[in-house]
A = this chain, B = another copy of it.
Amino acid sequence: MQKPSIPKGTRDFSPEEMAKRNYIFNTIREVFHLYGFQQIETPAMENLSTLMGKYGEEGDKLLFKILNSGDCFAGISDEELMEKNPLRFAAKACEKGLRYDLTVPFARYVVQHRNEISFPFKRYQIQPVWRADRPQKGRYREFYQCDGDVVGSDSLINEVELIQIMDEVFHRFGIRVCIKMNNRKILSGIAEIIGEADKIVDITVAIDKLDKIGLDNVNEELRSKGLPEEAIERLQPIIMLQGSNQEKIATLKEVLSASETGLKGVAELDFILERISHTPIRAELELDLTLARGLNYYTGAIFEVKALDVQIGSITGGGRYDNLTGVFGMEGVSGVGFSFGADRIFDVLNQLDLYPEGSLKTTQLLFVNFGQKEEIHLLPLIAKVRKAGIRTELYPESTKMKKQMGYADAKKIPFVAIVGENEMAENKINLKNMLTGEQTLVTIEELIERF
């Protein structure tokens, strides 16, 4: 008999995990709605022509490809087949693949439905994606992404609102965070003024190490990457950039005064910080020049959220991009978006034990089943209790009390209602608090009142 298992890198979600995940997604969903974002969903399977070539050569290999149903060998010659080249074979034998992220399907959606969409289009999407990555701790082959984007508007007010959304979501979770901000144009400006446009990644990587290895070693690393002394000299005020966001901006304005692009980046950042100052923000906001995620993709603002009380990578990230849909023949659709890291947020909430009471929607009350007569007595009572919105169960069988109490324990049901001969005669309910063991005799109305 086969012993069942699931593919490596995939997960089952138990009732408790699902309740926690629903709490996370519902909280994010509510905040998105509050800001006028609308949900869409796209199919798990996309045409491979939509997906291929969008994630680099490596990405093409990491796509899960679906063998054509019917005759998968149609149109493949014997010679081609005997080549046994997986990618070339797949190109003919597979028309469809599983989505690899939510960005490409979103771009495809925007182009395909351009005539139904009223721009600016604020959409969010919460769906699983699949990657044939080597599974390892914290990295799965199936995982949920949770993206929000505004496309079709260049206004920086969108950036401001994204910051507000991040702030509100993590406030609701009770997670203290720092929202780090940067701007691609500032990074371009820095590369411009030191004349080393192609070294921008090396530079940010080196600057990022300042706290750990100290200034001398950072400069040494820059030298080892081939940066001339003059460029390193010019970089000093940027490496040592310190103080409040306003002080950093003042320094950058000076240092980047010769770069039009750089100054534009500073002005954008300045604008966003000014506007956000008119709203009640609880997160720390920090200008961080080492923030360079998705450098080839982002063209303006770059965001990242770090949890302050847990050691973990970024739990949310995003930025502004140009030309989302150019690859599908629709030019001029720029936007700004971000992605909540659901798995990491799940870990942070677990570590800090931040799930609010009641958020997990477990059963609140179990009625013990003593048999036929009691069942008939209880059915209308239970209907009343449920009508009051109390999540209630009747144990389906009149088995031993111990077994029924064990069920309540295992399911973490906080209250058990015991109605035997005596209680029936008095038309009362013996309500047992499973945590304290305390028992109280109440009427059905009093019971409902208690919850």
Which chain A residues have a beta carbon within 8 Å of chain B's beta carbons? 1-7, 10-15, 18-19, 22, 33-36, 38-47, 49-50, 61-62, 64-67, 69-73, 78, 81-82, 84, 86, 89-90, 93-96, 98, 108-109, 111-113, 116, 118, 120, 122-123, 128, 130, 132, 141-142, 150, 153-155, 157-158, 160-161, 164, 275, 278-280, 328-329, 361-363, 366, 369, 375-376, 379-380, 383, 386, 389-394, 396-397, 406-407, 410-411
Sample of 12 further A-B pairs with CB below 8 A, known A4-B111, A12-B109, A66-B98: A4-B328, A6-B50, A15-B39, A34-B390, A35-B393, A64-B67, A65-B67, A120-B397, A120-B407, A157-B375, A275-B376, A279-B379
Interface contact A4-B279, CB-CB below 8 Å: no
Closest CB in chain B relative to A300 CB, distance in Å: 14
Closest CB in chain B relative to A5 CB, distance in Å: 7
The oligomer's copy count stands at 2
Interface contact A43-B142, CB-CB below 8 Å: yes
Complex: how many Å from CA A212 to CA B323? 61
Closest CB in chain B relative to A198 CB, distance in Å: 30
Interface contact B130-A12, CB-CB below 8 Å: no
Q: Which residues of B contact A49 (CB under 8 A)?
A: 2
Interface contact A5-B47, CB-CB below 8 Å: yes
Interface contact B67-A391, CB-CB below 8 Å: no
A-B contact pairs, 13 of them (CB 8 A): A1-B329, A2-B50, A6-B42, A6-B47, A7-B45, A13-B40, A44-B44, A45-B130, A64-B66, A72-B90, A73-B89, A118-B410, A153-B397
Interface contact B40-A14, CB-CB below 8 Å: yes
Q: Which residues of B contact A39 (CB under 8 A)?
A: 15, 18-19, 22
Q: Which residues of B contact A407 (CB under 8 A)?
A: 118, 120
Complex: how many Å from CA A2 to CA B51? 12
Interface contact A45-B142, CB-CB below 8 Å: yes
Residue of B15, B41, B397 touching A155 (CB-CB under 8 A): B397
Complex: how many Å from CA A35 to CA B394? 9
Interface contact A1-B391, CB-CB below 8 Å: no
Complex: how many Å from CA A14 to CA B121? 12
Interface contact A45-B86, CB-CB below 8 Å: no
Closest to A46 in B: B6
Q: Which residues of B contact A111 (CB under 8 A)?
A: 4
Complex: how many Å from CA A82 to CA B411? 55
Complex: how many Å from CA A354 to CA B290? 53
Complex: how many Å from CA A98 to CA B45? 10
Q: Which residues of B contact A50 (CB under 8 A)?
A: 2, 4-6
